[in-house]
Chain A
Amino acid sequence: MVSAARRIELVPAEETERRARRDCSKEPELWALLDAVTDPEIPVLSLWDLGVLQNIERVGHRILVTLTPTYSGCPALVTMQEDIRARFAEAGLTDVDIVQVLSPAWSSQWLSQAAREKLTAYGIAPPGDERCPHCGSSNTHRVAEFGSTACKAMWRCDDCLEPFDQFKAI
Chain B
Amino acid sequence: MDARAAAYAIGLGDDALVLGQRLTEWCGKAPFLEEDLALANTALDYIGRARFFYQAAGVNTGRSEDEIAFGRDAREFTNHLIYELPRGDFAFTMARQFLIDAFMVPFLDALSTSRDEQLAGIAAKAVKESRYHLRRSGDWMVRLGDGTDESRQRTIAALDTLAGYVDELFEMDSLEAELATDGIGVDRARLKDAWQRTVARVLEDATLPQLATGWNVSGGRRGIHTEHLGHMLSELQFVQRAYPGLQW
Contacts and interface: CB of A to CB of B under 8 A. Distances in A.
Given A143-B34, A146-B34, A150-B41, A105 B124 contact: yes
A144 B128 contact: no
Considering residues A69, A148, A150, A168, which has the most beta carbons from chain B within 10 angstroms of its beta carbon? A150
B132 A103 contact: no
A72 B37 CA distance: 16
A102 B135 contact: no
Contact of B38 (A104, A107, A146, A170): A146
Nearest to A150: B41
A17 to B, nearest CB: 16
Interface string A148-170: 10100010000000000000101
B48 interface: yes
Nearest to A104: B124
Interface of B is mostly: helix
Interface in A38-67: none
Contacts of A102: 52, 118, 121-122, 124-125
Contacts of A143: 34
Given A105-B128, A145-B136, A73 B45 contact: yes
A170 B43 CA distance: 17
Residue from A69, A72, A147 having most chain B Cβ neighbours under 10 A: A72
B46 interface: yes
B34 A73 contact: no
A127 to B, nearest CB: 12
A88 interface: no
A33 interface: no
Nearest to B46: A73
A148 B52 contact: no
Nearest to A107: B128
A144 B135 CA distance: 12
B7 to A, nearest CB: 20
Contacts of A72: 44-49, 51-52, 122, 125-126, 129
Given A73-B49, A102-B121, A143-B34, 18 more contacts: A69-B125, A71-B44, A71-B45, A72-B45, A72-B46, A72-B48, A72-B49, A72-B126, A73-B41, A73-B43, A73-B46, A74-B48, A104-B124, A105-B125, A144-B34, A144-B37, A146-B136, A150-B44
Q: Which 9 A-B pairs have the closest CB atoms?
A: A72-B48, A73-B44, A73-B48, A144-B34, A102-B121, A146-B38, A105-B125, A103-B121, A146-B41
7 contacts: A72-B44, A73-B51, A105-B121, A144-B35, A146-B37, A146-B42, A148-B37
